[in-house]
Structure 1
Amino acid sequence: MSEFEKPSIFVIEDEKDLGELMCRSLTSFRYQVRYFSRGEQALLEFNKQTPDICIVDLNLPDIDGMELVKQLEDEDTGVIIVSGRDALTDRVLGLEFGADDYITKPFEPRELVARVQSLLRRLRKKKQQSVTVYKQAHFANWVFKPESLSLHLIDESDETLSRAEGEILLALLKHPFQILSRDQLLGENSAPYDRSIDVRMSRLRKKIESDPQHPVLIKTVYGAGYMLACDVNWV
């Protein structure tokens, strides 16, 4: 997605009236929008075209929305969940499965547009920053390669991080021994609930800490944020 291209958006929503309303609202802001009433339809098209953002309803007739979000997690696309489920557990689960944002129904179309614009700015900024990409970072007994999001423990096998996990780890690796606030780690994608960064940090710790309940690499600085407490060597 370049600065001059129209961002592409897939709207995956089984309520036709609501889906068409979302499409009209987004099209009026010059986005390229495609509507799907079923998740499998969207996945088939996804193999042909990768949109910049997928807007996913959780109550789809043919596939569980959370499962669809999970399938999209490692793809190069932003994901916004729209759902009538407003319980904190659903929001947290959506973030755990890789969503970038969560909007509860009912919502104003302008709010949806604002969330899309915010996520697009974040995705564009990330791609601009990737022009100068470090090859790999060595920290503790780990090697992290940002381009492939691969995490390697010396003398053991590789593991691939999700995009959200990779972004958080990269931010920490660029600023070792510095406290980064939740807003700094989430950037423009700050969600209206504080648990989002904590959920993603918990997932990351489970992968790099020997004892996630007593972390030694990523420290929590209560009231301030998080800090990577080890040296980092970029090569």
Structure 2
Amino acid sequence: MGLKKRIYVVEDEADIRRLVTEVLEGYGYEVSCWASGREARAAIQRQAPDLCLVDLGLPDMDGLTLVRELWEDVRFGVIILSGRGGTSDRVLGLELGADDYIVKPFEPRELVARVNSAIRRREQLSGAAATAETARARFGPWVFDLGNLTLTADDGRQESLTAAEASLLLMLLKAPKRVLSREHLQGPDQDRDDFPYDRSIDVRVSRIRKKIEEDPRAPRLIKTVYGAGYLFAGDVTWLR
């Protein structure tokens, strides 16, 4: 894994903090824990992590508020840890920009798999950004910059993307006019027995549409092919 990846855990339950630390350190991660959102904010200002795990039931703030704030920092990913297992809670978490959602109690192997996946996704994006042929793409009035996870419009407007959104958009842009199934867009290493993969993909597509479509309710760029998946209908030019 090279240099140890830094994981921040924002969780008020000491038993959960100990479990997460023990499991992730056993897989070579460097783990730091905080029991409140305020402490986590201060730590992130001093040094950003590679990934942040956030409990929704924090003592000093709603964890969703912290997730929304952290989403604006594209330097690292965010995974929600929560005892709230309803579909609406998970969808809301993803809509606010989280890369993933883990329901407590969880199996250690599930935690490791989700963390590995989030870290690997960002590494793959960094690798793709280093390749001139896939670093920047123009479609419609937008330029997609994989290096800094942004979309810039011709009029100067800029939208930020999470790593999960950027990864999904990259797959669509690299295969324009082709239908890609939800399984393909989800990736081969995702386990969604407790939260069907298609919902997480649908949420991310919805978020991307809100950023790039004139009317997200009648999308012209990312089309839904019912029963099959999604298709990017626009023309794509890769910029060097």
Same fold (TM over 0.5): yes
CA distance in structure 2 between the aligned counterparts of 1:136 and 1:127, rounded to whole angstroms: 12
Residues 142 and 153, structure 2, Cα contact 8 Å, conserved in 1: yes
C-alpha distance 121-106 of structure 1, shift in aligned 2 (>3 A): same
Corresponding residue number in structure 2 for 1:127: 126
CA distance in structure 2 between the aligned counterparts of 1:77 and 1:229, rounded to whole angstroms: 30
Q: Is residue 210 of structure 1 aligned with residue 208 of structure 2?
A: no
Corresponding residue number in structure 2 for 1:11: 9
Cα offset, 1:195, TM superposition:
1.1
Corresponding residue number in structure 2 for 1:69: 67
Residues 122 and 189, structure 1, Cα contact 8 Å, conserved in 2: no
Q: Deviations over 1:125-182 (max 9, x none)?
A: 222222204453222233333323333333x231222223333222222221122222
Q: What SS class does the counterpart of residue 18 from structure 1 fall into?
A: helix
Q: What SS class does the counterpart of residue 207 from structure 2 fall into?
A: helix
Q: What SS class does the counterpart of residue 46 from structure 2 fall into?
A: coil
Cα offset, 1:190, TM superposition:
6.2
Q: What SS class does the counterpart of residue 47 from structure 1 fall into?
A: helix
**Unmatched 5+ residue regions in structure 2?**
none
C-alpha distance 215-55 of structure 1, shift in aligned 2 (>3 A): same
Corresponding residue number in structure 2 for 1:150: 150
Q: Deviations over 1:45-92 (max 9, x none)?
A: 111222111111000011211111111113221211111101111100
CA distance in structure 2 between the aligned counterparts of 1:202 and 1:55, rounded to whole angstroms: 23
Corresponding residue number in structure 1 for 2:173: 173
C-alpha distance 26-138 of structure 1, shift in aligned 2 (>3 A): closer
Cα offset, 1:20, TM superposition:
1.3
Corresponding residue number in structure 2 for 1:182: 182
Q: Which amino acid aligns with 1:157?
A: G
Could you state the TM-score of these two structures normalised by the residue count of structure 1?
A: 0.90
Pairs aligned (count): 232
Q: Which amino acid aligns with 1:85?
A: R
Q: 1:52 aligns with which of 23, 32, 50?
A: 50
Residues 183 and 190, structure 1, Cα contact 8 Å, conserved in 2: no
CA distance in structure 1 between the aligned counterparts of 2:190 and 2:97, rounded to whole angstroms: 13
CA distance in structure 2 between the aligned counterparts of 1:91 and 1:7, rounded to whole angstroms: 26
Worse overlay, 213-222 or 113-122: 113-122
**Unmatched 5+ residue regions in structure 1?**
none
Q: 1:224 aligns with which of 222, 228, 231?
A: 228
Corresponding residue number in structure 2 for 1:112: 111
Corresponding residue number in structure 2 for 1:198: 202
Q: What SS class does the counterpart of residue 63 from structure 1 fall into?
A: coil
Q: Which amino acid aligns with 2:131?
A: T
Identity %: 50
Residues 186 and 201, structure 2, Cα contact 8 Å, conserved in 1: yes
Corresponding residue number in structure 2 for 1:141: 141
CA RMSD, Structure 1 to Structure 2 (Å): 1.9
Corresponding residue number in structure 2 for 1:100: 99
